[in-house]
Amino acid sequence: MQRKVKKRKRKLKKSVKRGCLGIIIFQLLLALFLFFRCTPAKDILFGHHDQTEEIVVEPDSVDLAIADDVQRLIHRSMLIDTTKLAVDVYDLTRGCYVYEYHSHRRLIPASCMKLLTGVRALKQLGADHQYISQEYLLGIVKRDTLYGDLLLKMDDDPFLLSFDEFTHAVKNRGVSHVKGRVVFDLLRTDTLRPHRTAQPYDITYRQVPLLMKGAPRVRSEFLASLRAAGVTFDTDTLLFNMPLTKDAEMIYQYQTPLREVLKPMLINSSNVKAECVYYHNQHAQDRFEKPDTSLQMSAFNFIQSENIYDRMANFVVNDGSGLSPENRLTADFLVQLMIYAYRQPDIRNILIDEALATPAHPTRHGSLLSRMSAPCFRDRIFCKTGTLVSYASSSLTGYAHHTNGRWFVFSIINNNSPVYDAREFQDALCRLLVE
């Protein structure tokens, strides 16, 4: 009898062990199945991560409530053309779309085009990238005479307004006569002009920064500054990428970080600064090393190489400022661009902490002046405005920080609507995303 009981106990133990082992094996197989199902094959094999292939997250009750409010807002907005309206809202905290309305319709983005220019520059150059202009003496200084060349290596710095400091540096070095050449090595030799499809009065020659007025004007300005200071010279010439000798003496340097150029470009919607950044990003190079050809890619190549968006058919990017009325983008693209920026801390922090306009802020209200003045918007909306009045186009794209702690990214494009009414609609929608 005791033997039978012991046999049963042993059988029971074996059954329990087998059952536990079976459960463990089943759980492991289930985990492997889910892993291989949710992860693209190329990621498993090569360790790649494709931003466009993600686990789908459904909107929750908060997202659905916001979507209902936005839908009602659109239907009761009688003064805007809803057939030329695009709205896209994405919950960054949960990783899901909240609301879409004509989000894939190609419309005029106006100055929201500057977001592509800014994000691209931040990615390829970095916020601390420097515009550097330098002045060298190439030769020997005896008494008050330089026996050699005076060299200017000039970046296309949009903040440089005069050559007075460069001339003072020559005088402070004790040079009054240059027995040689004044050599200009300019990164940019042509004049900054808006795209041919933009209105000619949008960027006038008077507004163009000094170093983007063309090589003849740069030369005449500096030579006039030297003459005014009593500095004589034999001749002058224009060269490109002139090598520095070991005995080259730098007597002055002027530099501006990219982040300081992005602030007026995005906060105050400076068209001139945007075109300057767009051009510089195409041609920037380290003067002392080999050029970085990756910086010379087009905006479309940048979008493709960074896997930002894969539906760019019929997109039109004519400039870096959005002045061209022939530009065409979608609200969905602008949202994806801002999602891309948000997922990269270096870019996100610059945009939210420094470079995007935010309402009711003493120094960063910028193009939002007189808009969203209610306390609920303070430190909760960070965005870029866009306006082309003559084409009845208005846009708004950026980030919203809800009182419940969630972050949203949104894009609104109004075409064929009175700008004032479009802005009222945009402000009302933003209120739904923060309260």
CA 53 to CA 43: how far, in whole Å?
A: 10
Q: What is the mean pLDDT of the chain?
A: 87
Give me the half-sphere count of Cα atoms (radius 13 Å) on the Cβ side of residue 88: 25
- Which amino acid does the sequence have at 311? R
**Strand 145-154, strand 381-388: pairing:** unpaired
Q: Which CATH number describes the domain made up of 130-257?
A: 3.50.80.20
Q: Residue 230 gets which letter from DSSP?
A: T
- Rg of the Cα trace of the chain? 30
CB atoms within 10 A of CB 196: 10
Closest CA to 135 of 256, 221, 249, 215: 249
In this prediction, residue 280 carries a pLDDT of: 87
Residue spans of alpha helices (H) in 289-408: 299-305, 331-342, 345-350
Q: Taking 70 as the threshold, does the pLDDT of residue 33 lie above it?
A: no
The answer, yes or no, to whether residue 37 has pLDDT greater than 60, is: no
Report the C-alpha gap between 358 and 349 in whole angstroms. 14
For residue range 146-170, list pLDDT tens digits in order.
999 999 999 999 999 999 999 999 9
**Is pLDDT larger for residue 303 or for residue 17?**
303
Instruction: Give the whole-angstrom CA distance, residue 137 versus residue 139.
Output: 6
252 in Cβ contact with 174 (< 8 Å): no
Least confident of 1-10, 82-91, 97-106, 169-178: 1-10
pLDDT classification of 235: cutoffs 50, 70, 90: very high
The two structure tokens encoding residue 68:
């209902």
Same CATH topology for 61-126+280-434 and 130-257: the answer is no
How far apart CA 136 and CA 153 sit, in angstroms, is 8
- Place 418 in a pLDDT band, splitting at 50, 70 and 90: very high
Structure-token pair, residue 299: 């905006």
**Residue 31 confidence (pLDDT):** 56
Note the pLDDT of residue 186. 92
- DSSP-assigned states of every residue in 52-107: T--------HHHHHHHHHHHHHHHH-TTS-GGGEEEEEEETTTTEEEEEESTT--B
Q: What is the pLDDT of residue 283?
A: 64
Give a three-class secondary structure readout of 100-163: EECCCCCECCHHHHHHHHHHHHHHHCCCCCEEEEEEEEEEEEECCEEEEEEEEEECCCCCCCCC
Domain 61-126+280-434 is found in CATH 3.40.710.10: yes
Retrieve residue 123's tokens. Answer: 């990615």
Q: What is the pTM of this model?
A: 0.83
Please write the tens of the pLDDT for every residue from 327-386: 999 999 999 999 999 999 999 999 999 999 999 888 999 999 889 999 999 999 999 999
Question: Is 50 exceeded by the pLDDT of residue 175?
Answer: yes
Task: Please name which of 204, 191, 196 lies closest in space to residue 326, comparing C-alpha atoms.
Answer: 196
Domain residue spans of the chain: 2-36, 61-126+280-434, 130-257
Other Cβ atoms within 10 Å of 291 Cβ, number: 13
Query: 390 with 91: CB under 8 angstroms?
Result: no
